[in-house]
Amino acid sequence: MLQTVAHYSCHFVLPLAVALLFYKSNWKFAYVIMVLGILIDLDHLLATPIFDPNRCSINFHPLHSYYAMVVYLLLLIPKKTRLIGIGLVIHIIADTVDCSLM
């Protein structure tokens, strides 16, 4: 239970903190864009079973692969894609923390 709370807190509270600290004038927009990073979990639909509480998603699902992570890091460079990149990197950090707690 505590692991689940920590995991989803990272997905929703960390982007809020980043939005409030670095995007004060437009924090709502920044927050929504970063939280949309959770959409990469759609790749879980490709797995059998779809949800396995004992499975680490890092480098198991295609959008959680090391190759995808390189793309997410590259999205941090251009200003136009930075919010998307931050959201995706936060998502990967949350999943990595989750895997380390398993």
Segments making up each domain of the chain, as ranges: 2-101
Each residue's pLDDT expressed in tens, for the chain with a length of 102 residues: 667 777 778 889 999 999 999 999 999 999 999 999 999 999 999 999 988 888 899 999 999 999 999 999 999 999 999 999 999 999 999 999 888 877
CA distance 48 to 10: 25
CA distance 23 to 88: 17
